[in-house]
Amino acid sequence: MISIVIPSYNEEGNVSHTAEVVIRIMEKNNIPFELVFVNDGSSDGTWGRLEAMALKDERIVAVNFSRNFGKEAAIFAGLETARGDAVVLMDCDLQHPPETIVEMYKIWKNNDIDVVEGRKSDRGKENKAYRGMSLLFYKLIKKTSGLDMDAASDFKLLDRRAVDALLRMPERLTFFRAMSSWVGFKTEKVYFEVAEREVGESKWTTRQLIKFAINNITSFTSAPMQIVTVFGVLTFIVSVILGISTIVQKILGESDAGFPTVIILQLLTSSIIMFSLGIIGYYISKIYEEIKNRPRYIIRDVVRKNDRGEL
Interacting residue ranges for Mg ion, rule: CB under 5 A: 91, 93, 95
Find the shortest distance in angstroms from Cβ 124 to Mg ion: 8
CA distance 309 to 215: 43
93 forms part of the interface with ligand UDP (CB under 6 A): yes
9 forms part of the interface with ligand UDP (CB under 6 A): yes
- Closest CB to ligand UDP among residues 36, 224: 36
- 156, 183 in Cβ contact below 8 A? no
Find the shortest distance in angstroms from Cβ 24 to ligand UDP: 19
68 forms part of the interface with ligand UDP (CB under 6 A): yes
Question: Of residues 177-236, which lie at the interface with ligand UDP (CB under 6 A)?
Answer: 197, 202-204
Burial code (b: 16+ CB inside 10 Å, e: under 16) for 179-203 equals bbbebeeebeebebebeebeeeeeb
Find, among 134, 226, 144, 219, the residue nearest to 176 by Cα: 219
92 forms part of the interface with ligand UDP (CB under 6 A): yes
Q: Which long-range contacts (CB under 8 A, 24 or more apart) does 256-260 make?
A: none
90: left (phi over 0), alpha (psi -120 to 50) or beta: beta
Select from Mg ion, ligand UDP, none the partner in contact with residue 72, using the beta carbon and a kind-dependent cut-off of 5 to 8 Å.
none
CA distance 253 to 73: 67
12 forms part of the interface with ligand UDP (CB under 6 A): no
74 forms part of the interface with ligand UDP (CB under 6 A): yes
Residues that bind ligand UDP (CB under 6 A): 7-9, 11, 40, 68, 70-71, 74, 91-93, 95, 197, 202-204
